[in-house]
A and B are shown apart, each in its own frame.
Chain A
Amino acid sequence: MAEVTAATIDAAGKETREVNRAIRQAAQEGATEIHVRNPAGRHSFGVALTGELHVVLEGPTGWYTGGMNAGPTIVIHGNTGWAVGECMMSGRLEVHGHAGSGTAASIRGGVVYVEGDTGARAGISMKGGALVVGGSVGYMSGFMMQAGTIVVCGDAADGLGDSMYEGTIYVGGEIASLGADAEAKDLIDEDRTLLETTLAEFGIDASSRDFTKVHSGRRLWNFSAREPELWASAL
């Protein structure tokens, strides 16, 4: 096992670019665990990083935290703002707090975990990977997702899975309403196994909730004049 070399960066009084450069610099100098103090709700920390890196943000962060990363693990101790982990290619991102709208937008791989709730459009346009939410998700989550998995342990607000092409959403609580062309299905054994293993990693017992599976009805894949209502409701 590689030796863990830690580095600490204080974000107070530094420009965002200075902080992100310092993270890269520390990584280049061999630090494998980098702590950022006083993020204070500011935007765009820990973005576009690659490799085996562990970045801990010791407080709430703003928008786009940990976006466009390939490989690193980002841990946020506090809330985070809009579009956390956007366009992540691989790696892991943990939010020990609540997240804003557009959580894990367009991720292609890796795992985004939110301990609390998310705002609207969680997992919008996901192209792979997994989003695990310990709490509830907001309006139109899973909108236009194309691949990957969303697991919501709490409730889902209106319009869940609207216009999703592919991928799977699991919801452990109430679904306020499904979006256009989203369909609820019963779980099969494979789903249960997947939920158990995915949630166990975050200390959540999958069997304590009665999950519903949601996936695409695929009726929006091709235009049909026979279903005008469906098309009228699709955005």
Chain B
Amino acid sequence: MAFAGGDPARLRAASRALGTLAEGLTDDALAARDRGREAAAAAGDGHIAQLAESALAAVGGALVATAVVVSGLAQGTTTASDQLVGATGGPR
């Protein structure tokens, strides 16, 4: 059912897509972390090993933060959908 002030069904679908995307970004963060460890193991030089692992850990941390933002968008979208349905008295 669609409303003039928004489309709850579309919002729910978008929320699912955003939730899946947040999970994907979380996996990417763990992958960046793992690549950092592998690079450190192959580097040979202690300083380069530490810097490579730190650089990829930092990128991984940024991915975790991005996953938080996208997950926040997913939750906000779900809530907006629920509120729209509640406000208009339509079925959930």
Q: Judge: A and B partners, yes or no.
A: no
| Chain A residues within 8 Å of B, Cβ to Cβ | none
